[in-house]
Structure 1
């Protein structure tokens, strides 16, 4: 009997130990799975988010963070104190970095946008002129980030899928998986939205419609941006918001339309006849016949409206910054403000873009990444937006086998220096290859098919009025710029080289 009892007790103990081991095994397995899941969540959280706010036809001088770095004469080319203020965009610059010599690959909408998303010069993107479609067989920063697990979205003007205006449903997403609000093109100030149909309209048509049926494009696209961010905020995201303003027709919605009415803006110095009577052929412009035939009247009201549009954009930037703060996303989100090209706004008696002058080809570029970019950094090295993709991917720690024309300049942003200077030479060109321009942080060389070469010293002559190319004191500089320009034109197969030879020989 005692043996039987001992056997029973032994069985129970063994059974209990077996169950205990089983329970421990289950517990440990569950803990490991949970730990791995948590590591994955933490890994996702460690990935930096990306927001690009991109405007159209935006003069860099209208951002007060640039005004702070310019001479008074250059900051206020439209009269002393006459310019817009942008406290929210300034916040990005002050808490991050500002690039003072950032240029578009070509000062026209489509080619510049194609270069920004691909890291290639326009001739390699399939879209070197307005209205063309971006190639579907080349990577973009969005395709690369999508494959890295990012939620990728695009909101606003695309202009890389034909000439249609105010239409959506673009089939090729270029890596932006949420492209519901990717609009082919158009610059009407308002949308009329009724029965799920959207139509672009001007301010006169909008005034005749019920308020609940109209919305300004800047507000519409900012609203959609915030909706998407709310949905994806718990995962790594990359979003590009492309606001169609401050492009013509130069209309600001209330109250921005009267914000600068009391500002007595003046015609810029370089609009005067003494500076525009004789100018190079590349400066005449061909966007429309009015620009090609000669002088035009200074339009004070248009400039005041332009300033109003810029202030509207800045307030929209503020809404996005507020969202990041409220959702504890600020430190790990890279936010960038830039544009596709500039706007001359009467400098050199010009409107709009398409010329190598600073106001046309130089674009704003400010970036904030609190986790890694030192606040208050100023970068004077010359870049083009061809450099954007390799640089942003490197900043985000993303490796890729894709090949780019642009350089990875991330170290300029990540190092501990407060100011970055170098004499790096890069280039940009007119869509179609009729002129090309080499730039560094001080000099600009413009070579045209039908014109003598021009060399500008942007430090001594920021108005770009004096040609130093034939000045013996600039001989070495001219040769250095020219040699490097032709080297890059060959490297990147610039179409202009296949046309009639430029005035200058190599």
Structure 2
């Protein structure tokens, strides 16, 4: 009887899509991810459904939007009655393990009933507070602190390799959740391994939005890139361990991140905005049915990844999941796939956005508590970007008369997607009309054209 495929989630925190070579970064930061994407399946247009740590993680564990899990802001524990990936893999006869940052519990260390059903546990609820770059402390199944030697990325990778070796003779599902390249909160910097920041500081590649808007990129990009480099080296080490243990052919790996990083260009911190710098993430699969899957160009949401993992492992996808498996896309079956992704935004605002191949449309609620309210009855239009002519989202077209018919069409599509996510249809107030300023007109047929 053929052994079930092992499944590994390689999960980073706050990683921009354009840190990778397959997305045009010329610095050679991610040769292992790039090879994984080229030899496996590259989800070229991959987006978070919530650019905040805890909410995004609740969606990745459950396949539901954050408003459905109830974890729509940081600090709300995942409900005990929510079925996670671990529960589904447990029921299918897998051994399940979690290593790293959780951010879905109410305290540190994480009590057993708040661990989402994972059998093996070596984690921290908020790893950026329990550890530092060279001071990694997590908690085991008995909630005892475990100090792991080495740079934090390496310490977690060592733990993951030990787990794989110990469970190589049974099917396992391992969720490996890194903090990098997230900033270190108490010092507000990006602590790369010693010597790595210097490699990438100075006159290196700066994405167009950061080059135009500034923010803290000039101070932090070297460290950030250094962290990405070490993360990719960890991916390579993990893959090497699978080869050496004879597990390469039997293991599916998914690489993704919870959200991106805009380096304080869009608000006073690093995420929580509708912009691609905040919501677009690197995602790829390798192994099993994902071998030679090519590049998937359709827009895929973080909420689609849990059903994809279950589907790839031959586990039935429950109706409760709001995302959908991407395996039909891998097989070339594109009919019926949504033409936009929905993004829910909290903490910096109560906002909603959709992203299509060409357009970004975002609305913001007024008269609500950004840190407490999950949604609103009324929103006002906030952003409209034409990503074909303005890929770095520098020219906000909302309210420009020549584009009001585009906004009207996207408004209806946003409301429909919110309803599909279980929200009540809101009222969205159009933006005040701005002067045309010679702006060109775009037709509805142009809007609907797939680029």
* Cα shift readout 1:73-122 (whole Å, capped 9, x = no counterpart): xx4xxxxx5x4511111121111111222111110000000001101111
Indicate the residue corresponding to 1:72 in structure 2: none
Matched, 1:368 2:265: no
Q: Structure 2: which 5+ runs fail to align?
A: 185-189, 367-379, 432-451
Indicate the residue corresponding to 2:154 in structure 1: 219
Indicate the residue corresponding to 1:284 in structure 2: none
Counterparts of 2:137 and 2:278, CA distance in 1? 34
2:262 to 321, 325, 344: 344
* Alignment CA distance shift 1:99-1:477 (3 Å): farther
Matched residue SS, 1:404: coil
Counterparts of 1:430 and 1:182, CA distance in 2? 26
Q: CA contact under 8 A between 1:374 and 1:416: conserved in structure 2?
A: no
Counterparts of 1:493 and 1:316, CA distance in 2? 38
Indicate the residue corresponding to 1:172 in structure 2: 114
Counterparts of 1:337 and 1:330, CA distance in 2? 15
Q: Could you say which structure has the higher helix fraction?
A: 1
Q: CA contact under 8 A between 2:399 and 2:430: conserved in structure 1?
A: no
Counterparts of 1:226 and 1:430, CA distance in 2? 35
Matched, 1:50 2:7: yes
Counterparts of 1:332 and 1:266, CA distance in 2? 37
The residue correspondences of 1:283-322 to structure 2 (distance < 5 A) are 298=216, 300-322=218-240
Counterparts of 1:346 and 1:400, CA distance in 2? 38
Matched residue SS, 2:248: coil
Q: CA contact under 8 A between 1:151 and 1:238: conserved in structure 2?
A: yes
Matched residue SS, 2:325: coil
Q: CA contact under 8 A between 1:49 and 1:332: conserved in structure 2?
A: yes
Deviation at 1:503, TM superposition (A): 2.6
Counterparts of 1:434 and 1:84, CA distance in 2? 37
Indicate the residue corresponding to 2:342 in structure 1: 427
Indicate the residue corresponding to 1:228 in structure 2: 163
Q: CA contact under 8 A between 2:301 and 2:341: conserved in structure 1?
A: yes
The residue correspondences of 1:225-304 to structure 2 (distance < 5 A) are 225-249=160-184, 250-261=190-201, 263-265=202-204, 270=209, 298=216, 300-304=218-222
* Alignment CA distance shift 1:502-1:421 (3 Å): closer
* Alignment CA distance shift 1:476-1:329 (3 Å): farther
**For structure 1, which segment, 326-335 or 223-232, has the greater mean C-alpha deviation from structure 2 after superposition?**
326-335
* Cα shift readout 1:301-327 (whole Å, capped 9, x = no counterpart): 421111111111111111110011122
Indicate the residue corresponding to 2:416 in structure 1: 487
1:65 to 22, 31, 44: 22
* Cα shift readout 1:245-287 (whole Å, capped 9, x = no counterpart): 11113001224243324x4247665467xx76xxxxxxxxxxx
Indicate the residue corresponding to 2:429 in structure 1: 503
Q: CA contact under 8 A between 1:268 and 1:347: conserved in structure 2?
A: no
Indicate the residue corresponding to 1:153 in structure 2: 97
Matched residue SS, 1:190: coil
Counterparts of 2:126 and 2:137, CA distance in 1? 17
Indicate the residue corresponding to 1:464 in structure 2: 393
* Cα shift readout 1:381-419 (whole Å, capped 9, x = no counterpart): 112111112222112211144511112332112x158x9
Matched residue SS, 1:53: strand
* Cα shift readout 1:39-71 (whole Å, capped 9, x = no counterpart): xxx24x1x221101101111111111222xxxx
Q: CA contact under 8 A between 2:48 and 2:259: conserved in structure 1?
A: yes
Q: CA contact under 8 A between 1:380 and 1:441: conserved in structure 2?
A: no
Matched residue SS, 1:100: strand
Indicate the residue corresponding to 1:183 in structure 2: 124
Deviation at 1:350, TM superposition (A): 6.2
Q: CA contact under 8 A between 1:426 and 1:485: conserved in structure 2?
A: no
Counterparts of 1:410 and 1:474, CA distance in 2? 36
Deviation at 1:466, TM superposition (A): 2.5
* Alignment CA distance shift 1:504-1:477 (3 Å): closer
Cα-Cα RMSD: 3.0
TM-score (structure 2 length as normaliser): 0.81
Deviation at 1:491, TM superposition (A): 3.2
Deviation at 1:345, TM superposition (A): 2.6
* Alignment CA distance shift 1:247-1:455 (3 Å): same
Deviation at 1:159, TM superposition (A): 0.5
Indicate the residue corresponding to 1:279 in structure 2: none
Q: CA contact under 8 A between 1:98 and 1:378: conserved in structure 2?
A: yes
* Alignment CA distance shift 1:270-1:149 (3 Å): closer
Q: Structure 1: which 5+ runs fail to align?
A: 1-41, 68-74, 76-80, 201-212, 277-294
Indicate the residue corresponding to 2:30 in structure 1: 86
Counterparts of 2:125 and 2:382, CA distance in 1? 37
**For structure 1, which segment, 251-260 or 129-138, has the greater mean C-alpha deviation from structure 2 after superposition?**
251-260
Deviation at 1:348, TM superposition (A): 5.0
Counterparts of 1:138 and 1:223, CA distance in 2? 30
* Alignment CA distance shift 1:336-1:420 (3 Å): farther
Deviation at 1:140, TM superposition (A): 1.2
Indicate the residue corresponding to 1:445 in structure 2: 361
Q: CA contact under 8 A between 1:271 and 1:348: conserved in structure 2?
A: no
TM-score (structure 1 length as normaliser): 0.73
